[in-house]
Amino acid sequence: MIENLNSLVKENAGATIINNTVIPNERNDEAVREASTAIEDSLKTSLSGGNVKEVANLFNGTGDNVTANPVTQQATGNFMDRLQSRFGLNVQQAANIANNLVPTVFKRLVQKTADPADKSFDLQKIFNEVSEGKTNDLNVKGMMNKLQGSMDRDSDGDVDLQDLKAFFTGSGGVVDKIKGLFNK
């Protein structure tokens, strides 16, 4: 996944990294790798911390609302920290780059995983890699499809944050089952 993620970051890094004078040209590839690592690490941290609903919410849409997702926010913050510590950027420079690049990459990642014709990113492989193989026996795509089909938990005719919260909380809920995968 990380190779494809690096490519995806690079495809979207034109104005933010490649053509940005605050990142020296000879360090562009390094900056792209840092962005990829920040994104991968945020997915790993979210899943291993039991924040499965945040990751599921991220991949259950079209990618239009990724900026508000805690996983995206965490990756953006991580990338900002990396830009400051490894490249000596000030807070504003790092924030401009991270806030423009990370949500764009997540949006494209979500779109690619949702597109059956695009084989560059597979949701099952992403979950398997970030969980270090602990989701091998879990049908992630099936779980996501079930989520979409049975999300109206409060029977109010729409699927909103209340439905998502209800789906993932409670004894024996999805979170309890998935958390167990990461605590072994």
**Per-residue pLDDT, 142:** 65
Assigned token pair, 38: 């920040």
For the cut 70, the answer to whether the pLDDT of residue 159 exceeds it is no
Furthest-apart CA pair in the chain: how many Å?
55
Comparing 73 with 51, the larger pLDDT belongs to 73
Asked if 66 contacts 103 with a C-beta cutoff of 8 angstroms, the reply is: yes
Q: How far apart are CA 129 and CA 75, in angstroms?
A: 17
38 C-beta neighbours (distance < 10 Å), count: 24
158: burial class by Cβ within 10 Å (0-12, 13-18, 19+)? exposed
pLDDT digits (tens, 9 = 90+) for 15-49: 999 999 999 999 999 999 999 999 999 998 988 88
What mean pLDDT comes out for the span 44-72?
84
pLDDT the model gives residue 138: 66
Rounded to 5°, the CA angle 12-62-69 comes to 80
| Distance separating alpha carbons of residues 152 and 154, to the nearest angstrom | 6
What number of other Cβ atoms are within 10 A of residue 51's Cβ? 19
Q: Which ranges of 22-120 would DSSP assign to H, the alpha helix?
A: 28-48, 52-59, 70-87, 91-114
How many other β-carbons are positioned within 10 Å of the β-carbon of residue 70?
A: 15
User: Mean pLDDT highest for which of 25-34, 118-127, 146-155?
Assistant: 25-34
